[in-house]
Amino acid sequence: MEILGITALVTGAASGLGAATALELAGRGASVLGLDLPAALENCQPVDGIRYAAANVTDEDEVGAALESISADQPPLRLVVNCAGIAPAARVLSSRGTHDLALFRKTLEVNLLGTFNVLRLSSAVIARQTADENGQRGVIINTASVAAYEGQIGQIAYSASKGGVVGMTVPAARDLARSGIRVNTIAPGIVDTPMLASLGPEVGESLANGIPFPKRLAQPAEYARLVSMIVEHDYLNGETIRMDGALRMAPQ
């Protein structure tokens, strides 16, 4: 599928993976609708080809309104990239007591339910588009994590949520095959995002030392390029792709 001349929806578009993906797609000629929370969007600078809209991915009405804001005179929605997510840290049992149930629930709601909410609502829009000569109408790309496979100490909620995203990939691809919509998932390793940078350079250096090769943190732009590759590779479907430099996470 070509990126030029389509509309692409990107969640979590104000920073990190989402911001890099929005920039990549706009640079490739897509009309990008970037979703994020209102507070996150306050710091966004105008970018040609990107229109931002405030929406909580867990809210059916807000996501629906964002999709409805794509006017008939704009290019058809053919790509959705789910990048919105949170990554709290808490052990099942610690010196402070048991894992907070509300925190676990919120993590599942944002990372798993939010991804599913955007996937289900956007797939209905994509399914109405005209198919190409191969019957394809669009692509949905979700974001998991290597924590879905090797969750570290303190990642019980995050790992569960991302494991759910991985688990949705094949059945979603099968469900949407009749509509000509491909579904794939990217499972990044350690990416040099603003959230990681806030922990200090020593933390980033320590994490990089555990990566076999390349022995460095991944860059958000590399995630964005992988998104473009998946879009343009029409035979990739129902797949979860690790982008981690051969990293296998240790317990901590």
Q: Is 235 annotated as catalytic?
A: no
Residues linked to residue 80 through DSSP beta bridges, in sequence order: 9, 140
φ/ψ of residue 203, rounded to 5: -65, -45
Under 8 Å between Cβ of 134 and 177: no
Residue with tokens 């990239």: 81
Please give the distance of CA 78 from its chain centroid, rounded to a whole number: 16
- The sign of the CA dihedral 85, 90, 93, 98 is negative
Burial 165-192 (b: 16+ CB within 10 A, else e): bbebbeebbeebeebbbbbbbbbbbbbb
Q: How many CA atoms lie within 13 A of 82 on its CB side?
A: 36
Catalytic residue of the set 149, 158, 223, 235: 158
Under 8 Å between Cβ of 70 and 7: yes
Residue 99's Cβ-count burial label (10 Å; 0-12, 13-18, 19+) is middle
Residue 143 CA: distances (Å) to CA of 65, 171, 209, 215: 23, 16, 24, 22
Q: Which residues are catalytic?
A: 158
